[in-house]
Structure 1
Amino acid sequence: MIKSILNRFVGPEAEGRRLTRDAAYIVHALTEEHYGPIRAEVAQDLRKDIDYTMETFVRKDETYGFKRAMDNLSRMHNEARKRRDQRALTSLTLAIIYLKAEKVGAPAQAARDSILAYLEEWAPVTEENSGAMPPTPG
């Protein structure tokens, strides 16, 4: 009984609900009129941020990859906040939410889905390499 009440406020299910709510709010705000001019640019930056982070940190190091990726994204987010760069702040916030949702797993699937749907609409992948990393020789 107490454990079920506690799981409502802490744990993966609560984290998944929070990430889903935050992702839905930001994606909805991006589709509103006042974000119109930077909507596609945010999507392109977001795709590059996610691809770069996954390739550089997460896929290379199973043990510490998420921690290093979060540290890198948080550092870039703080720099964007100091510069007052709304485009970078928005894309990095969504990248952080996506990465946290990857780590949480199934409870945060809706957050990942909403971010990926936004990316598919505004920055679809046109080839195997999205441009975040140099093309692999091949």
Structure 2
Amino acid sequence: MAWVYRESVEQIGWPEPAAAEQRGRAVVFAADYGEAGALGRYSGAHGLPAPYSGHRSYADCGPPPDSATGTALLARPAPYPKVERAFTICREVARVDNGHGLAHEEQHTPVLLCAGPVEPWCRRWPRLRHFY
């Protein structure tokens, strides 16, 4: 039962970060497959592109297109230098808040807006894959 509760709690609060102001040619990149899945669930309703992640088998979906040279929205519960170094600047623009006071792994996760990609996604992608 604890597993079911934990999984239910992890789903709360994701519509809000998916409704970010920056859209256009943005890339949504999540640090792990759970965040990517949650953002994917709600991104369409807010006009955001499908999310990408280098985590586990979610990375098999491939990188964002190299033509996606706009800003990147990055959700990450811990510093993720492999992604942050892919841009000339990253700044925190929000924090995840499920609005219900329920603690879970992503509560208060920083959301970064990154700009100025230093190389195409296809070249960086192999270094973004991770299994932890």
Q: Scaled by the length of structure 2, what TM-score is found?
A: 0.25
Higher RCO (CA < 8 A, seq sep 6+): 1
- Higher Cα Rg: structure 1 or 2? 1
> Larger strand proportion, structure 1 or 2?
2
> Larger helix proportion, structure 1 or 2?
1
Q: Scaled by the length of structure 1, what TM-score is found?
A: 0.24
